[in-house]
């Protein structure tokens, strides 16, 4: 399932990230080793401050590693970014409020110099994919939070990147909307075959979506455990009610607790709590 | 129609104030050179519209000066704002300078401008207007160009967008509402600048000179009617800026009002 053998889409070897000055360094990430294969759906989960968002930004070359190597499709992260190998979705939709929904989806295509006809065609396809065709001419403020995030997903996929990075994309949504969005993301993932790296601090969300869950610890941020999620696909309501799902949630929760080394157990919250937190990851 | 209904309370209050003033001035027998009755101001306005003090031709000249100053000041404000946002290191040099220039009292600059650009030239009045307009435009536009959502910048970085593309597709649209806020303030300021410039001398047929001339002749009914025209011209310029705003940023919360999402 993890597609080992071929060139991995993401390869992190000995990756570290230190903030601050030489006198007072803050080690955000230490010695991260992770390979993500073609078509995998990998979630990064951990308590607030474990550096999971930083790790995602390293993969996207939005910040630079202070140690180790980050390779995307066998290239340095910077080259992969310039080659537009990935699309990204943030916690907030980050739509340009002066553009219509359609024009927001077209933004990357405009920047990449696609001709107008193919921009329009592609935006149309993407809005169909996320089910927002009839909102093409609306402005973002006319859409609900969940719909705005769907536009952001359409925009991230518009130029057919091989990798989709998602940074707590549904953290600001209510639980019902979040579950619906999870199903939609899964269906998009299955239809496009794209590789996804998904940052979250919701255990059920990570288990429901992923083929693998990377459990992280804080100070310094490390990947302490990789949990293979062998739930059958396609996943739906029955998945959320199956015993195996609950077992895996327990497994991830225990891995998180173990990674915390027994200290400050308060941050290892139940799913209800983690859903409400707006942590910086 | 809807905006008319919204403005009805303001109009009613205005009418009530005018009627009250008229009644008070007449019943208390207030001398005309202290406070002329509203009807006397109106009569003076009509009598001097094209004759006598030439209020209408004067208004045209003053409007031209204000508009010219608005244009020059806006252009200068935009140039400096774009320059400072493009070269952030210049910020610490340029901004204190701009603040210092902005702190110069306008009445001190007006006679100097008359001396520099010629007391009879409209450019001397435009210079005074432009110096008032420059600051609110510059500071607002600079804010709009730099106050950009960090995630939006990351998004553009993820696309490998050039600095030029970031400016064109993100910074400029982001700055537009800020610019229009500055512009609304600047319209009235430009008119104040033009009138103050006229106070310190220049052509006779300007609103500033009508105010000064009529006051020294103790014709305060004419002074008030000239002030009324200044206010009307200022409101007209302001409303024009509001109209521009509605056309340029219909998506912005300040324009679209409280419509439900």
In angstroms, rounded to a whole number, what is the distance separating the alpha carbons of residues B192 and B211? 13
Residues of chain A in contact with residue B178, where contact means CB-CB under 8 angstroms, are none
| Mean pLDDT over each residue of chain A, to the nearest integer | 89
Q: Taking residues B116-142, what's their average pLDDT?
A: 95
Residue A92 pLDDT level (bands cut at 50, 70, 90): very high
Q: What is the pLDDT of residues B209-227, one digit of tens each?
A: 999 999 999 899 999 999 9
Write the CB contacts of A12 (distance below 8 Å, at least 6 apart in sequence). Answer: A32, A33, A34, A35, A55, A58, A59, A68, A69, A70, A71
A interface with B, Cβ–Cβ below 8 Å: 57, 60, 62, 81-82, 84, 86-88, 90, 92, 94, 96-98, 107-108, 110-112, 139, 141-144
Strand order in the sheet with A75-76: A25-36, A10-20, A67-72, A75-76
In angstroms, rounded to a whole number, what is the distance separating the alpha carbons of residues A195 and B95? 48
User: Which chain A residue lies closest to B168 (C-alpha atoms)?
Assistant: A111
Residue B99 tokens, joined? 């603040």
Report, in this order, helix, strand and coil percent for chain A, each rounded to 5: 40, 25, 35
In angstroms, rounded to a whole number, what is the distance separating the alpha carbons of residues A145 and A79? 33
Q: What is the pLDDT of residues A74-83, one digit of tens each?
A: 999 999 999 9
Percent of chain B with pLDDT over 70: 97
Q: How close is the nearest chain A Cα to the Cα of B252, in Å?
A: 8
**Chain A touched by B255 (CB under 8 Å):** no
Largest CA distance in chain A: 58
pLDDT given for residue B2 in this prediction: 64
**Partners of A199 in beta bridges:** A44, A167
- Residue contact A142–B261, C-beta within 8 A: yes
Q: How many CB atoms lie within 10 A of CB A4?
A: 9
Write the CB contacts of B227 (distance below 8 Å, at least 6 apart in sequence). Answer: B211
Q: Which residue has the higher pLDDT, A226 or A264?
A: A226
Q: How many CB atoms lie within 10 A of CB B252?
A: 17
**Partners of A41 in beta bridges:** A196
Entry pTM: 0.86
- Residue contact A90–B154, C-beta within 8 A: yes
- Pairing outcome for strands A212-217 and A10-20: unpaired
pLDDT given for residue B33 in this prediction: 81
Q: How many CB atoms lie within 10 A of CB A229?
A: 22
| Residue labelled with tokens 């000995």 | A14
pLDDT given for residue A265 in this prediction: 41
Lowest mean pLDDT among A189-203, B23-37, B50-64: B23-37
Question: Is the predicted ipTM greater than 0.95, yes or no?
Answer: no
- Residue contact B159–A142, C-beta within 8 A: no
| Mean pLDDT over each residue of chain B, to the nearest integer | 92
Phi, psi of A277 (to 5 degrees): -70, 145
pLDDT given for residue A273 in this prediction: 41
In angstroms, rounded to a whole number, what is the distance separating the alpha carbons of residues B23 and A14? 88
User: Which chain B residue lies closest to A155 (C-alpha atoms)?
Assistant: B155
Write the CB contacts of B81 (distance below 8 Å, at least 6 apart in sequence). Answer: B137, B138, B139, B141, B142, B145, B175
Q: Which one of A53, A82, A94 makes the best mutation probe of the B interface by having the most chain B beta carbons within 10 Å?
A: A94
- Residue contact B155–A88, C-beta within 8 A: yes
Length of chain A: 281
pLDDT given for residue B195 in this prediction: 95
Instruction: Look at residue A276 and tell me whether its pLDDT is greater than 80.
Output: no
- Pairing outcome for strands A86-89 and A212-217: unpaired
User: Which chain B residue lies closest to A161 (C-alpha atoms)?
Assistant: B159
CB B65 within 8 A of CB B128: no
Q: Taking residues B179-207, what's their average pLDDT?
A: 94
Instruction: Look at residue A280 and tell me whether its pLDDT is greater than 50.
Output: no
Residue B161 pLDDT level (bands cut at 50, 70, 90): very high
Instruction: Look at residue B6 and tell me whether its pLDDT is greater than 90.
Output: no
CB A70 within 8 A of CB A17: no
Instruction: Look at residue A5 and tell me whether its pLDDT is greater than 70.
Output: no
CA distances from B66 to B10, B130, B198, B239 (A): 27, 8, 11, 15
Q: What is the pLDDT of residues B71-116, one digit of tens each?
A: 999 999 999 999 999 898 888 899 999 898 888 888 889 999 999 9
Q: Taking residues A22-40, what's their average pLDDT?
A: 92
Instruction: Look at residue B228 and tell me whether its pLDDT is greater than 70.
Output: yes
Q: Residue A210, by phi and psi: left (phi above 0), alpha (psi -120 to 50) or beta?
A: beta
Residue A4 pLDDT level (bands cut at 50, 70, 90): very low
**Chain A touched by B252 (CB under 8 Å):** yes
Q: Taking residues A134-147, what's their average pLDDT?
A: 95
Residue B1 pLDDT level (bands cut at 50, 70, 90): low
Computed from CA positions of residues A90, A91, A94, A100, in that sequence, does the dihedral angle turn out positive or negative? positive
pLDDT given for residue A1 in this prediction: 45
**Chain A touched by B157 (CB under 8 Å):** yes
- Pairing outcome for strands A41-45 and A212-217: parallel
> Residue A54: which of A167, A206, A164 has the closest Cα?
A167
């Amino acid at each position: 399932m993890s597609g080992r053998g071929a060139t991995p889409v993401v390869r992190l070897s000995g990756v570290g990230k230190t903030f601050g000055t030489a006198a007072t360094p803050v080690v955000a990430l230490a010695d991260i080793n992770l390979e993500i294969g073609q078509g995998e759906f990998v979630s990064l989960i951990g308590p607030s401050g474990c550096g999971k968002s930083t790790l995602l930004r390293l993969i996207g070359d939005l910040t630079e590693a202070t140690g180790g190597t980050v390779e995307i499709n066998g290239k340095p992260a910077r080259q992969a970014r310039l080659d537009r190998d990935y699309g990204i979705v943030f916690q907030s939709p980050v739509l340009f409020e002066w553009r219509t929904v359609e024009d927001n989806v077209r933004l990357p295509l405009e920047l990449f110099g696609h001709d107008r006809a193919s921009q329009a065609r592609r935006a149309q396809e993407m809005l169909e994919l996320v089910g927002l065709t009839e909102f093409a001419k609306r402005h973002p403020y006319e859409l609900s939070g969940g719909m705005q995030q769907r536009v952001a997903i359409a925009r991230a996929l518009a130029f057919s990147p091989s990798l989709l990075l998602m940074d707590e994309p549904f953290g600001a949504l209510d639980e019902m909307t979040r579950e619906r969005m999870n199903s939609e993301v899964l269906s998009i993932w299955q239809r496009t075959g794209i590789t996804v790296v998904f940052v979250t601090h919701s255990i059920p969300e990570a288990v429901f979506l992923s083929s693998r869950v990377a459990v992280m610890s804080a100070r310094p941020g490390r990947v302490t455990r990789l949990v293979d999620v062998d739930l059958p696909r396609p996943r739906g309501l029955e998945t959320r009610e199956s015993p195996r799902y609950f077992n895996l949630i327990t497994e991830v929760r225990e891995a998180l607790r173990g990674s915390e080394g027994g200290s400050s157990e308060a941050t290892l919250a139940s799913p209800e709590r983690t859903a409400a937190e707006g942590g910086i990851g | 129609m809807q905006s008319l209904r919204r403005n009805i309370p303001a109009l009613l209050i205005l009418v009530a104030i005018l009627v009250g003033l008229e009644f008070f001035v007449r019943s208390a027998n207030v001398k005309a050179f202290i406070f002329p009755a509203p009807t006397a101001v109106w009569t003076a306005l009509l009598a001097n519209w094209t004759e006598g003090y030439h209020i209408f031709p004067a208004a045209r000249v003053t409007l031209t000066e204000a508009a010219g100053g608005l244009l020059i000041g806006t252009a200068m404000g935009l140039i400096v704002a774009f320059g400072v946002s493009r070269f952030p290191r210049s910020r610490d040099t340029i901004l204190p300078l701009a603040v210092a220039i902005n702190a110069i009292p306008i009445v001190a600059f007006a006679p100097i401008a008359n001396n520099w650009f010629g007391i009879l030239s409209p450019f001397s009045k435009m210079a005074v207007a432009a110096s008032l307009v420059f600051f609110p435009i510059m500071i607002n536009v600079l804010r709009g160009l730099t106050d950009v959502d960090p995630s939006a910048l990351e998004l553009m970085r993820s696309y490998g967008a050039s600095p030029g593309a970031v400016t064109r597709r993100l910074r400029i649209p982001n700055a537009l509402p800020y610019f229009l806020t500055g512009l609304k303030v600047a319209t009235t300021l430009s008119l104040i600048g033009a009138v103050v410039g006229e106070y310190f001398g220049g052509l006779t047929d300007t609103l500033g000179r009508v105010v000064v001339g009529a006051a020294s002749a103790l014709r305060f009914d004419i002074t008030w009617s000239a002030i009324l025209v200044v206010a009307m011209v200022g409101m007209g310029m302001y409303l024009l800026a509001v109209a521009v705003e509605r056309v340029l940023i219909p998506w912005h919360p300040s324009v679209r009002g409280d419509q439900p999402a």
